[in-house]
Structure 1
Amino acid sequence: MCFDESPIQLIGEFRVPITPKPGKRYRYDSEYKRNGTANLFVMIDANRSWRKVKVTDRRANQDFAICMRDLVDGDYHDADKIRVVMDNLSTHTASAIYQTFPAVEARRILRRLEFHYTPKHASWLNMAEIEIGVMRRQCLDRRIDNRELLETQIHAWERRRTESGAQIRWMFSTDKARLKMAKSYPTPALNES
């Protein structure tokens, strides 16, 4: 399971855009109205065509903890262990889960989770980053002015993409990783006797 988040601005219009002629792109006025922000938590299964995007008002410990609980109790309720790949954001910790839920509940959730963190400056190794890029191009390439519309658009995109069987073809091997990130891998010292 790959996990990441992305902020999004809710942007409205000052003027109603003119409907374009057939075959022409929609044009927006340079003036806009900022209606706040929202946060998107993106989860994608690297082994099958499944993704889930949760829209929240903010990106806080509690929001992260609720996403992890929903993963454990809902979408992957029958999995013994869920391996979660994510970046080193300060909210991506076991303590966030303990801060949100009673100790017994937090322990129950964490027993089912195994966190794997991408190296610093290498969040591109997280497939959820790729999915966020696809979502921005296919779904968020226009102005969306309120959270309800955002949720409707996101969930329709999520459903279409999952039903189409879309998966990420990961072509980055261990050997390529060792070449690309040579500084991160120790070089064994050879004893010359």
Structure 2
Amino acid sequence: MEDVLDVYELPYDEKYPVVCMDEKPYQLLGESREPLPMISGSDRKTDSEYVRNGTVSIFAFVEPLGGVHHVSVREHRTAVE
């Protein structure tokens, strides 16, 4: 882990950019019942039951020293991506 942190401390070099990549699978959820609206003195009421609307993969690419970032959302996760 220390070796990785040492890379982040290197000075910026345009020829050899440090690029960080992270992937997060994300589940899309929907309401199974319409939430009850807020009333005076009470919070909005929501049901714990949900409808599963599939999944997506969120990819984030960051070049911290260059100040560049890119986010991509994919409906399907394949080996090519």
Q: What's the TM-score once normalised by structure 2's chain length?
A: 0.60
Q: Does residue 10 of structure 1 match 2:28?
A: yes
The sequence identity of aligned pairs, in percent, is 35
In structure 1, distance between residues paired with 2:66 and 2:26: 27
In structure 2, distance between residues paired with 1:21 and 1:31: 22
Could you tell me which residue of structure 2 aligns to residue 37 of structure 1?
55
Could you tell me which residue of structure 1 aligns to residue 46 of structure 2?
28
Residue correspondences, number: 62
Normalized per residue, the structure richer in strand is 2
Cα shift readout 1:92-151 (whole Å, capped 9, x = no counterpart): xxxxxxxxxxxxxxxxxxxxxxxxxxxxxxxxxxxxxxxxxxxxxxxxxxxxxxxxxxxx
Normalized per residue, the structure richer in helix is 1
In structure 2, distance between residues paired with 1:4 and 1:10: 19
* RMSD of Structure 2 on Structure 1 (CA): 2.6
In structure 2, distance between residues paired with 1:47 and 1:26: 43
Structure number with the bigger relative contact order (C-alpha 8 A, sep ≥ 6) is 2
Could you tell me which residue of structure 1 aligns to residue 69 of structure 2?
51
What's the secondary structure of 2:65's corresponding residue? coil
Q: Structure 1: where are the runs of 5+ without partners? A: 64-193
In structure 1, distance between residues paired with 2:32 and 2:25: 22
Letter in 1 for 2:53: N
In structure 1, distance between residues paired with 2:45 and 2:76: 30
Structure 1 residues 25 and 58: CA distance shift in structure 2, 3 A = farther
Structure 1 residues 13 and 44: CA distance shift in structure 2, 3 A = same
Letter in 2 for 1:14: S
